[in-house]
Structure 1
Amino acid sequence: MIKATNQILPFQALALQIKAEVVNQANDRQEARGMIEQKIDRIAQQIAASKAFIGSNCKLVLLPEYFLTSFPMAESLTTWAKKACLEMTDPIYDRLGEIAQRNNIFLAGNAYELDPNFPKLYFQNCFVFDPSGNMVLRYRRLNWMFAPTPHDVWDKYLDCYGLEGVFPVAKTAISNLAAVASDEILFPEVTRCLGMRGAEILLHPTSEIYGQARSPKEAAKVSRPVENMMYVISANTAGIVNTSIPEVSVDGGSKILDYRGLILAETGQGESMAAYAEIDITVLRQYRRQVGMKNLLARQRWDAYTESYSQFYGYPANSMDSKVVERKHFIETQRATIE
């Protein structure tokens, strides 16, 4: 586990709830890029205005899932890769880094990304830029229904990036940052592996139904911070625009929770900067050093579970092996897993 000794002053974090605008109707990559550029122009204004309102102590901003492109619908993997996915050294990333640098913030979000090590595939990347404009975290979504993940090309992915590249934690000036995407909040093992590596803030870009107080994701957003004694920052979309899906189906409920599972800030529906709150990493680290029943990390007996995990198998690794597949592959693989 990462050990940090420097005291970090409290700061404000913001889960910025904004609309996602689809690029599905774009005829080609050039047209889609123009739409993405326009979106970034708007985001730059929203971030600057939000920080001006919250104050200079706003050090971390999280954007929701799908904020640049929305998600593939009828497109094949190959078509979506050509139309909507970013290169690892993409100029779009440069622009996001510039926004982080200009506002002196850590800027986090999520985008579809290509990787030259895996031609014709793409991954969903949770990223963080530091105030100098450098990407300090790249986490590829590990659990997904209709698209490739590192687990689908597991052996090669480990050869390229190692296990720490699968479960990355960025040790930064404001805390140890990690991320999961969307419904990965429902998979406790992912967050646990990040917590094992010292994560103190879990960034959760998402696009989900809001308004069901006892929905599985809402329960998970309380459970993950308690289990791992970490802050959770969850930014939802303010709807998805220009699609046949009703716009406000995935709108509202961005929130920040502390390491006790208490909601520090939350917003309703619509574009909003209301979900911001103070993050106190020094207090969190003190809480983690306390002796008592509440220190669940210190009470965990991780070695007791390893043999059971090694004996039972679910969704298979290496099911894609870098080959191009259609959406039916994911359904067929899940059916085989259930059997």
Structure 2
Amino acid sequence: MDLDRRLFLAGALALPAVSEAAEIKAVPLYSAVAMQLMARSVEPWPDRAAARAAMLAQIKTVGAQILQAKIFIEQFAGSPMRLAVLPEYLFTSYPGRISIPDFADKAAIAEGGPEYEALGRLAQGMKIWLAGNAYETDRHFPGLYFQTSFIIGPDGNVVLRYRRLNSMYAVTPHDVWDKYLDIYGIEGVFPVANTEIGRLSALASEEILYPEIARAHALRGAEVFVHCSSEIGSPNPTHKHIARRARAFENLAYVISANTAGIWGTDMPLASADGNSALIDWKGNVMAESNSGETFTASGDIDIAGLRRARRKPGMTNYLSRQRLELFAASYAGQVQPANSLLSDGVVKTPDRDHFRRMQDEVIARLEKSGII
């Protein structure tokens, strides 16, 4: 296994063999928080240097906000706060119509870069696991970037790095699939970090709507889904609101979903993506949910021991253990969105934004021709 794959999987190692009773008792009750914070767009900044300075300044501000949330939660709720989840693309907002190479240069961060170092110092100083989401470059794919959900451990190191697999206007690992697999393997596509607070995995934004992605992580042991999102908030159930609860109970897993508290620096009305950050237990119950604005009110206790007991208990509601996956193998073998749309004879192409719309048009035409739609 090469160095890149070993580093990518650093947090996805098997747990040591222990007895069932010992494993269930191994994780004490702790608190987690979905930090609902305002994303700040890089659009107003004139160049790379200004954008990077703004990102580092915001990381410092966010650190202070998490610390205050930790102090409050531990004083009034009692359980130690050990996991904080940040919203999607908190430090850059979405790329909009900025070209892919230009956005990669201006706003995408590098593995081990100063932004990760700053975030690592926050996690280390507060002795927490810190989950977030950012656009990230990869030296194997120059000129491109991937939307990456990450988890940083209390030692300041990244223990999980997950690249978003389903996106409308951005490059995903599936678009360069063969080369991506050669470098990182399937374990790097669906990483699960075995930690002292449970087995953690990540879902990015609208991926909560695709049950296969969550299920692939759950079948690798995931117990807690950290979900970084930027979405509309509403008093009525949205698609993502419904999907969060479904992904929780169908996989017997916690979902910790952090939404943005608006997006600063674009022409879009500020609160268009605001509200409804939530903690959901493995039964699909909403434990806590935020209203609008910057807040840490979506917080609560995580009971991994209870979840593990539920997963080991036979019964109709143990949906994870009742899967009959072979039934669906033939149906899933058919292709909808094609792999390797940006890979030709091993060479990676840099697309324009309209490439992704053209690909979807072609897929819809093919599905229509085949009688599926």
Question: Which band: TM-score by shorter chain?
Answer: over 0.9
Q: Which residue of 1 aligns with 2:119?
A: 96
* Equivalent in 296, 306, 309 of residue 286 of structure 1: 309
Q: TM-score, structure 2 length as denominator? A: 0.89
Equivalent pair of 1:65/1:207 in contact (CA under 8 Å): yes
SS in 2 for 1:176: strand
**Separation in 1, partners of 2:253, 2:246:** 10
Structure 1: gaps of 5 or more residues: none
RMSD between aligned residues: 1.2
**Separation in 2, partners of 1:27, 1:279:** 43
Equivalent pair of 2:97/2:353 in contact (CA under 8 Å): no
Q: Which residue of 1 aligns with 2:135?
A: 112
Q: Which residue of 2 aligns with 1:332?
A: 358
Could you list the per-position Cα deviations for residues 58-116 of structure 1 after superposition, in whole angstroms to 9, with x for gaps in the alignment?
A: 00000000211101112100110010000112111011011000001000000000000
SS in 1 for 2:316: coil
SS in 2 for 1:100: helix
Q: Which residue of 2 aligns with 1:259?
A: 282
SS in 2 for 1:251: coil
**Separation in 1, partners of 2:144, 2:83:** 31
**Separation in 1, partners of 2:94, 2:276:** 20
**Separation in 1, partners of 2:103, 2:145:** 9
Aligned ranges for residues 1-339 of structure 1 at < 5 Å? 5=18, 6=23, 7-55=26-74, 57-310=80-333, 312-321=334-343, 322-339=348-365
**Separation in 1, partners of 2:113, 2:236:** 39
Q: Which residue of 1 aligns with 2:4?
A: none
**Letter of the structure 2 residue corresponding to residue 317 of structure 1:** A
**Separation in 1, partners of 2:142, 2:363:** 26
1:323 Cα deviation (Å)? 0.9
**Separation in 1, partners of 2:235, 2:93:** 23
**Separation in 1, partners of 2:144, 2:63:** 30
Count of residues in Structure 1 that have an aligned counterpart in Structure 2: 338
**Letter of the structure 2 residue corresponding to residue 18 of structure 1:** L
Equivalent pair of 1:257/1:265 in contact (CA under 8 Å): yes
**Separation in 2, partners of 1:255, 1:185:** 13
1:309 Cα deviation (Å)? 1.0
**Separation in 2, partners of 1:203, 1:255:** 11
1:305 Cα deviation (Å)? 1.1
**Separation in 2, partners of 1:62, 1:261:** 19
**Letter of the structure 1 residue corresponding to residue 164 of structure 2:** R
- Report the more deviating stretch, 70-79 or 277-286: 70-79
Could you list the per-position Cα deviations for residues 218-242 of structure 1 after superposition, in whole angstroms to 9, with x for gaps in the alignment?
A: 1101100111110000000000012
Q: Which residue of 1 aligns with 2:369?
A: none
Q: TM-score, structure 1 length as denominator? A: 0.98
Identity of aligned residues (%): 47
Could you list the per-position Cα deviations for residues 103-159 of structure 1 after superposition, in whole angstroms to 9, with x for gaps in the alignment?
A: 010000000000001111100000000100010000000000001000000000000
Equivalent pair of 1:36/1:68 in contact (CA under 8 Å): yes
SS in 2 for 1:18: strand
**Separation in 2, partners of 1:123, 1:334:** 19
**Letter of the structure 1 residue corresponding to residue 191 of structure 2:** P
**Separation in 1, partners of 2:216, 2:187:** 10
1:41 Cα deviation (Å)? 1.3
Equivalent pair of 2:37/2:295 in contact (CA under 8 Å): yes
1:212 Cα deviation (Å)? 4.8
SS in 2 for 1:144: coil
**Separation in 1, partners of 2:43, 2:340:** 29
Equivalent pair of 2:123/2:155 in contact (CA under 8 Å): yes
Equivalent pair of 2:43/2:265 in contact (CA under 8 Å): no
**Separation in 2, partners of 1:228, 1:265:** 19
Equivalent pair of 1:2/1:198 in contact (CA under 8 Å): no
**Separation in 2, partners of 1:218, 1:257:** 10
Structure 2: gaps of 5 or more residues: 1-12, 366-373
